[in-house]
C-alpha cells in the first residue's frame, strides 16, 4: 500500500466549500502515480519503454464524509486484484489531521493494452512489482 498526500485547492471545491465529487478520481489518479513511483517505476516508463497503456475501464467511489478546501488528504492506494491483462486499484481517502475518519473509498479497474489499443498481457516486470508489494 502507498500513502500519498495532497492538499485540497480552492478550485477543487464547489460553492459550499466541499470537494466536488469528480475530483476524488483525480486524487485516486495521483495516488496511482505515487504507487508506481514508490516502486521505482512510472506510467511514463510503461508507455515509452514497454508500449503499455492502462486505461481506466471502470471507476467507482463511495463518499462517506466531505473533504473541504485546504484539507491535507491521505490517499491510500493498493492493487487489490491482478489478472492476466488487467489490474484493480482500491483507495481510501482520509484527512491527515483525522486519519480515523474515512472520507471516501474507491476502485479503478485498468485494462492493459498495447499502443494499437488491443488487450495484452501485463509485462512481467509490472506483475513482479505488484506481487512484491503484497
Q: Which residues are catalytic?
A: 14
Enter the C-alpha cell of residue 63. Answer: 463518499
Distances (CA, A) of 96 to 33, 71, 101, 134: 19, 8, 9, 24
Within a 10 A sphere around the Cβ of 37, how many other Cβ atoms? 13
Q: What are phi and psi of 97, to 5 degrees?
A: -80, -5
Enter the C-alpha cell of residue 49. Answer: 519503454
Report d(CA 24, CA 5) in Å as an integer. Answer: 13
Enter the C-alpha cell of residue 55. Answer: 486505461
Q: Are 93 and 63 in contact (CB under 8 A)?
A: no
Amino acid at each position: 500500500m502507498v500513502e500519498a498526500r495532497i492538499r485540497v485547492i480552492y478550485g477543487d471545491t464547489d460553492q459550499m466549500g466541499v470537494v466536488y465529487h469528480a475530483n476524488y478520481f483525480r486524487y485516486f489518479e495521483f495516488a496511482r502515480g505515487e504507487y508506481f513511483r514508490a516502486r521505482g517505476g512510472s506510467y511514463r516508463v510503461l508507455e515509452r519503454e514497454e508500449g503499455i497503456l492502462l486505461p481506466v475501464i471502470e471507476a467507482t467511489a463511495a463518499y462517506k464524509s466531505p473533504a473541504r478546501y485546504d484539507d491535507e488528504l491521505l490517499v491510500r492506494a493498493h492493487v487489490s486484484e491482478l489478472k492476466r491483462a488487467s489490474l484493480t486499484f482500491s483507495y481510501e481517502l482520509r484527512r491527515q489531521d483525522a486519519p480515523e475518519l474515512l472520507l471516501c473509498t474507491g476502485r479503478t479497474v485498468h485494462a492493459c493494452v498495447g499502443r494499437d489499443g488491443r488487450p495484452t498481457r501485463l509485462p512481467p516486470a509490472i506483475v513482479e512489482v505488484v506481487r512484491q508489494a503484497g
